[in-house]
Structures are given as structure tokens and as C-alpha cells.
């Protein structure tokens, strides 16, 4: 019986980059958003990693059937008091989940801005890989949280 090849986690990124068309050490991916030309939007570099982290953080924990540990509890924080305790809980959740599921990046900053006109908050996240840094913002609102909690 033939043995299956085992790819070590620390080598898998290098093997992936060596077998993908294009320049090495640059991530490429297509996301399910249509660009003006009618094609899927192509992301590269840190944009790919930010998209991966965004998907992780907006997915409610235990909602993905093939990996119940994938996701976060950030939607539950929408209804918590807008105070420093909740802010620290959100920051802890972000850093814990990103370290658990995506060790390709370093988190440079996590900032939480609570909305004054509705329940919810904006999460501003900056990541880096090597000398590059890039950020994104994710809104967690009452409407989205209600939907996520109903599904779970």
C-alpha cells in the first residue's frame, strides 16, 4: 500500500507559493464580489489575508458544519454595554481567533468604535506581514447580529 505524502504546516505556504502561477511570496485569491468588468474580484497580497480574517470574524462560532470551532463570538458583543469591559472582550476575541486560525500575520492594532445611533460597533483591524501593513473595518450591527443569533 502506498503511503500518502505528508506536508508539514511550516512548509505548506512555501509549497503553495511555488506551485501557483505568478510571483512567489504574493498571495492571490478571487472573492465572491463582481468587479466592474463582470469578473470575480481578484485580491492579492495582504488583501487576501484580510479577506480570510474578515470571513473568520463575521462567521458566528459553531455555524460552519465542517469545522464547528471556526468563527467568532463577536456578534454576541453587539448587545453588551458599550464600555471598556466589552471593548477588551472584543479585542481578546479578535486576537485569540486570528492567532488560532491564521498564523501568517501579526496583528498590529485592534480598535473598537461603538455606534451612538444604534446597537453595534465598528472593528478596525490592522495586520502586517514582513514590512507590509494593511487594515480593514468591519461593522457589527443589531440587524446582522439578530440574524446570526437566530441561525445558531
Tell me which residues of the chain have a pLDDT lower than 70. Answer: 1-35, 41-44, 145-152
Nine-digit cell string for 98: 486570528
In the DSSP assignment, the letter for residue 77 is G
What is the structure's pLDDT at 49? 84
The structural domains of the chain, with segments of one domain joined by +, span 7-44, 46-151
What is the structure's pLDDT at 18? 59
CB 57 within 8 A of CB 92: no
What is the structure's pLDDT at 38? 74
Nine-digit cell string for 79: 448587545
In the DSSP assignment, the letter for residue 75 is G
Residues ≥6 apart with Cβ < 8 Å to 83 = none
CB 27 within 8 A of CB 44: yes
Given the candidates 3.40.50.720, 3.20.20.60, 3.40.50.300, 3.10.450.40, the CATH classification of the domain at 46-151 is 3.10.450.40
Amino acid at each position: 500500500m502506498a503511503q500518502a505524502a505528508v506536508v508539514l504546516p511550516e512548509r505548506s505556504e512555501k509549497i503553495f507559493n511555488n506551485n501557483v502561477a505568478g510571483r512567489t511570496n504574493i498571495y492571490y485569491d478571487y472573492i465572491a464580489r463582481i468587479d466592474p468588468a463582470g469578473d470575480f474580484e481578484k485580491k492579492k497580497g495582504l488583501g487576501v489575508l484580510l479577506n480570510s480574517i474578515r470571513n473568520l470574524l463575521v462567521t458566528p462560532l459553531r455555524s460552519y458544519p465542517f469545522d464547528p470551532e471556526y468563527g467568532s463570538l463577536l456578534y454576541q458583543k453587539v448587545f453588551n454595554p458599550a464600555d471598556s469591559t466589552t471593548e477588551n472582550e472584543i479585542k481578546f476575541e479578535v486576537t485569540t481567533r486570528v492567532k488560532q486560525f491564521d498564523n501568517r500575520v501579526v496583528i498590529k492594532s485592534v480598535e473598537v468604535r461603538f455606534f451612538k445611533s444604534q446597537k453595534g460597533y465598528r472593528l478596525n483591524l490592522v495586520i502586517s506581514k514582513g514590512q507590509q501593513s494593511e487594515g480593514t473595518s468591519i461593522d457589527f450591527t443589531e440587524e446582522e447580529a439578530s440574524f446570526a443569533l437566530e441561525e445558531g
